[in-house]
Chain A
Amino acid sequence: MRFIEKIIPYIPLLTKGLGITLELTILSAFFGFIGAIFLVIGMLYGNRFFKILSTGFVTLIRGTPMMVQLFLIYFGLPGIDIRLSPLTASIIAFIINSSAYQAEYLKGGFLAISKEQLEASYSIGLNKWKTIQYIIFPQALRFAIPALSNEIVYLIQYTSVAYTIGLPELFYISKNFASKTYMNIEIYVFIGIVYLILIYIVTRATEIIQKKFYIPGFDLSHLK
């Protein structure tokens, strides 16, 4: 019970760390989603230039580890005279990373929509943008919900990587605690449970959202 004694004074710090973890997750998920919409439209409907640009971007980001991107932005950019705080660097890195992954999930949703849906939309006189807005997007989003929820789970887990650049999020605080108290297994199991609770909440919330937007014929259980 020595652990409980030691952890109590740490609770305010851990709560702050949790706040940063959540802030980083929510910002990255949200702005990553907005970026993803532009990317997926570029990949699927853009002209040659935008197609190559957005596809290339997504390929490069998905082809390299998150942590390397973070290092490049935080430790690398000062080499070309751009200096960012750990928080700014993390936010930028995670938004960039998440937008590429979310774009790929959305793309899967877009491609799951048959050509006839587009033809039907055009045949009643909707133009390209209205078709994307009213026909493709609402369906693609439903197809992509499970993947997007997974992305939030990933973000919660991988924001812990930001400790490497000194961002005082949940994992950073825990590591700090471990190095002072030598109670490694206790603290890591403890925050492991905190992360599990967070992830449980996200998964449950997704199930509720899916039920709310459920439409007969859109059985998503067969999709990942």
Chain B
Amino acid sequence: MALAIRKSTFSILATARCIVPREFRGLSSLPETKEDVAQDVAKRSTGRKIRFQNPALEYRHVYPEFLPDPNPKWRNTLREKMERADMLKRRSQIDIPEFYVACENQSVTDLYRTYKTLTYIYPVSSPTSFEPFIRVSGTGIISRTGSVAHYSLDEGPPKGSKLVSDDTRYIYVKLKPKPWLERWERQELKGVANIDEHLKEKDKVRRELRKTPWEKYDLMKQYRKTIPAEDQNEIWGEVHNQLNQLRLSRKKMFKKRPVSAPKTQLA
């Protein structure tokens, strides 16, 4: 009851504060000061950008699996909500690391995904944050197409591929000669050092013909592949608190973890 009263008095005061100056303004014949108008305009002009300033939107890079399929044929708000709750419950039980590498089945949203990761290495240098890319040991190449990372399993290029330069951002890879698993030359890979060595003249011509420079201007194609910011605001508003807590608890667990050198297994 006391709470209610306090709240009501506060709200009355607040409304009064809003109304009073306006009433006086209404009674007076003086025009509104220019400052007020300018402030109003500034507020209004930023109104649209505020939707993009939501800090929780940054979660989309870390937990892209919480976003639903952008195809409207697959959308169902209730199902998506239940799935998100389910995913949070799973994460509270198991420590599912955040993946940044597109593995074989990474293109599938979370509940329908089967994880196939070869190695997951705790970064030694920076224990508080996971490194942006997983180092894959054994046979395999990592390459980057712009923002998407590719990882291909054996056959074709991988066996004996050498890491040319090991930057934290880019890992350059030397390709073995053909036959390849895919037509790597057509994918505009940024992580491959020596792709032109293995190409015939015909391949280069075909690569030029297959290029689609107009696609980056196809605004609707991009739109159909993304979840708009307004929808994302709702999603992250729903889950970001719990995700934050999960992250914090994981950090604590990580610090408590006993540090010991891994034992080498001799066959």
Q: Do A and B bind each other?
A: no
- B-contacting residues of A (Cβ < 8 Å)? none
User: B residues bordering A, Cβ < 8 Å?
Assistant: none
